[in-house]
C-alpha cells in the first residue's frame, strides 16, 4: 500500500530506478529482493510506478478494506500482464488478506 506521506521518496526512487534500469544494479534494488523469487519475472521501474500509483492508501484500507480490495481487483483485471509480475502478487495479496479480515 502507499504510505500516507512519502511521495517525494517515491519520485526520487523512481528517478533513480529509471536511471539505472538497464544496469545489473537495478536487480539488486532492495524493493525487488524480498518480493520476487529467483527466476521470477519482475516489473520494470516504470511498471512498478504504475502499480504503486494504483495501490490504495493506508487510510482507505483502514477505513474500508473491501473497497480497497475491489479497487485492486479492477486494476488486476485490467492489467493481467502486470499483475503477474513481481512484486504485484505479493502486494495484491496483502490488500486482499486485509479485506478478508473484515
Q: What is the pTM of this model?
A: 0.64
DSSP per-residue codes, 47-70: HHHHHHHHSPBHHHHHH-HHHHHH
Q: What are 43's three cell numbers?
A: 516489473
33-85 per-position pLDDT tens digit: 445 567 778 888 889 889 988 999 888 988 999 999 999 999 999 999 999 99
Amino acid at each position: 500500500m502507499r504510505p500516507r506521506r512519502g511521495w517525494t521518496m517515491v519520485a526520487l526512487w523512481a528517478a533513480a530506478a529509471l536511471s539505472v534500469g538497464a544496469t545489473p544494479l537495478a536487480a539488486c534494488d532492495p524493493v525487488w529482493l524480498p518480493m520476487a523469487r529467483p527466476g521470477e519475472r519482475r516489473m520494470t521501474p516504470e511498471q512498478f510506478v504504475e502499480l504503486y500509483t494504483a495501490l490504495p492508501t493506508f487510510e482507505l484500507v483502514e477505513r474500508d478494506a473491501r473497497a480497497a480490495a475491489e479497487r485492486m481487483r479492477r486494476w488486476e483485471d485490467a492489467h493481467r500482464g502486470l499483475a503477474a509480475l513481481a512484486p504485484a502478487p505479493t502486494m495484491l495479496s496483502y490488500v486482499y488478506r486485509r479485506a478478508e479480515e473484515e
